[in-house]
Amino acid sequence: MRGPSLEELDSIIALARRRNFRAAARDLGVSPTVLSQRIAASEAKLDVRLFNRTTRSVAATAAGERFLAEIEPALAALSHAFETLDETRASPRGWLRINSSVGAALRLMPSLFLPFCAAFPEIELDLVTEDRLIDIVAEGFDAGIRTMGGVPRDMIALRLEPDQTSSVVGTPDYWARMPPPRTPRDLMTHTCIRARLPGGDLSPWEFLEGGKLLRLDVPGKLILDHAGLMLQAALSGAGVAQLPDWWTEADRAEGRLVGHLRDVIPVHGGLALYYPSRRHPSAAFQAMVDFIGGAYRRPAAERGQDQSTAGPQANAGKI
Task: Work out the number of other CB atoms within 10 angstroms of the CB of residue 254.
Answer: 8
Q: Does residue 170 sit in the same domain as residue 244?
A: yes
Q: Do 188 and 260 belong to one domain?
A: yes
Question: Is residue 308 one of the residues assigned to a domain?
Answer: no
Angle at CA of residue 230, ends 227 and 234, nearest 5°: 140
3-state secondary structure of 255: coil
The full DSSP string for 48-115 is S--EEE-SS-EEE-HHHHHHHHHHHHHHHHHHHHHHHHHTTSSS--EEEEEEE-HHHHHHHIIIIIHH
pLDDT tens track, the chain, 319 positions = 567 888 888 888 888 888 888 888 888 888 888 898 999 998 888 888 989 887 677 888 988 888 888 887 777 776 666 666 555 555 677 889 999 988 899 989 999 999 999 999 989 999 999 888 888 887 888 999 998 888 888 899 999 988 999 999 999 999 999 999 999 999 999 999 999 987 788 999 999 998 899 999 999 999 999 999 999 999 999 999 999 999 999 999 999 999 999 999 999 889 999 998 865 677 888 899 999 988 666 444 333 333 333 333 333 334 4
Domain check: are 11 and 154 in the same one? no
Contact 244, 165 (CB under 8 A): yes
Helix (H) or strand (E) holding 156: strand 156-159
Say if CB 60 and CB 20 are below 8 A apart.
no
Q: Are residues 20 and 102 in the same domain?
A: no
259 and 184 together in one domain:
yes
Question: Does a structural domain hold residue 204?
Answer: yes
315 is a domain residue? no
Q: What are phi and psi of 118, to 5 degrees?
A: -70, -35
DSSP output for 133-146: ---TTTTT-SEEEE
Residue that terminates a domain, selected from 37, 62, 86: 86
Give the range of the structural domain holding residue 25, as residue numbers without chain letter: 6-86
Asked if residues 161 and 269 have their Cβ atoms less than 8 Å apart, the reply is no
Residue 312 falls inside a structural domain: no
Same domain, 159 and 275: yes
Cα-Cα-Cα-Cα torsion 169, 170, 176, 182, nearest 10 degrees, comes to -30
Same domain, 121 and 51: no
Provide the CATH number for the domain around residue 50: 1.10.10.10
| Predicted structure pTM score | 0.62
Helix (H) or strand (E) holding 227: helix 227-235
> What's the CATH number where 239 sits?
3.40.190.10
Give dist(CA 238, CA 231) in Å, integer. Answer: 10
Identify whether the C-beta of residue 205 lies closer than 8 Å to the C-beta of residue 169. Answer: no
What is the total count of domains within the chain?
Answer: 3
